[in-house]
Amino acid sequence: MKYIKFLFTGILFGIIMTKSEIISWFRIQEMFRFQSFHMFGIIGSAIVTGLILVQIIKRKNMKNIYGSSICINDKKLSISRYLFGGIVFGLGWALTGACPGPMYIMLGNGYAVYVTVILSALLGTFTYGVVKDKLPH
């Protein structure tokens, strides 16, 4: 039962992503071609809202539902892994028009062929795990 809250948060996430058309391949193309403000507005307003929420959490030392402080870990600084990994991710994002969230949510939208997108992403993840020691991080 402790997991049911995550099911509901997930349902909310799936509805938002579907209704805002972020899951649309065409919307992602519009973004990469800078021909619509839609995606930039979504990402931008999510970050601004997120910034405010994170600042409130930190300044008020907000507790989570279990009573412990909400800690948000800093990411380890490096350039190569984020830049090169990011570029590889971007190459794929423009092709599939779906980052990992939308890949799953498209299944719920009835596009069963996205199972193959997810399986390919799993293969990509697996391959990364096998070769990661040979990559710059």
3-32: contacts with another protein (CB under 8 A): 3, 5-32
Residue 110 binds another protein, judged by CB under 8 A: yes
Kindly state the smallest distance separating residue 4's Cβ from another protein, in Å: 8
Residue 123 binds another protein, judged by CB under 8 A: yes
Kindly state the smallest distance separating residue 5's Cβ from another protein, in Å: 5
Instruction: Report CA-CA distances (Å) from 117 to 45, 73, 100.
Output: 28, 30, 9
Residue pair 119/133 in contact by the 8 Å Cβ criterion: no
Interacting positions 58-97 with another protein (CB under 8 A) = 62, 64-66, 68, 70, 72, 74-79, 81-97
Residue 1 binds another protein, judged by CB under 8 A: no
Binding mask 38-57 for another protein (x = CB under 8 A): xxxxxxxxxxxxxx-xx--x
Extract long-range pairs of 37-40: CB within 8 Å, 24+ residues apart. none
How many residues bind another protein (CB under 8 A)? The answer is 112
Question: DSSP readout, 29-81?
Answer: HHHHTT--SHHHHHHHHHHHHHHHHHHHHHHTT-B-TTSSB---PPPPP-SHH
